[in-house]
Amino acid sequence: MLLVTSIIAALLTAIFIKLSFAVIRLRRKNKVGLGSGGYEDLERAIRAQGNFAEYVPLGIILIACLELNGAPWWLVAIPGLALIAGRLIHARGMRAPPPDFSKRVLGMQLTFGTLASLAALNLVWACYQFIGKI
């Protein structure tokens, strides 16, 4: 069962829905059917949603692989929570107009760090499981 992954995926989905509603709200407000219409706030909302959609699926897949391969719940939950934190920080940073990129950068650092850690954890855990079966 993927209990930890299910919780993490559900929380990430709630964040994605919130980001999507922000795009919809700004499209309606600015009467824009496609693209950003040149509105900076809408462009930032679109990119926050798009960036989320680009990075989160790979994170969920890696989290699920780790859990499916029998890693302890905490080894699955910690990077899951880090991914959630990274995506929330990034989304908050995208709301603020430039030039303050500090939250965006922090959010991406946490996201990339989490994805890299998940890749490494999956490799190490899979090797550990494989060697244990020999």
> Quick check: 99 pLDDT over 70?
no
In CATH, 3-133 is 1.20.120.550: yes
Q: What is the pLDDT of residue 98?
A: 75
Quote the DSSP letter at residue 1: -
Task: Please tell me the predicted confidence (pLDDT) of residue 120.
Answer: 97
- Smallest CA-to-CA distance from 118 within 70, 89, 72, 82 is with 82
pLDDT in tens, 81-92: 999 999 999 999
Band the pLDDT of 96: cuts 50, 70, 90: confident
> CA-to-CA distance for 32 and 101, rounded, in angstroms?
26
Is the pLDDT reported for residue 79 higher than 70? yes
The token pair that represents 33 in the structure block:
């059917």
Listed residue (121, 16, 133) closest to 68, CA to CA: 121
Residue-range domain boundaries for the chain: 3-133
Residue scoring higher pLDDT (34 or 124): 124
Q: Tell me the per-residue pLDDT of 16-35, one tens digit each, with 9 for 90 and over.
A: 999 999 999 999 998 888 88
For 40, residues 6+ apart whose C-beta sits below 8 A from its C-beta are: 97
**Rounded distance between C-alpha atoms, residue 91 and residue 129, angstroms:** 36
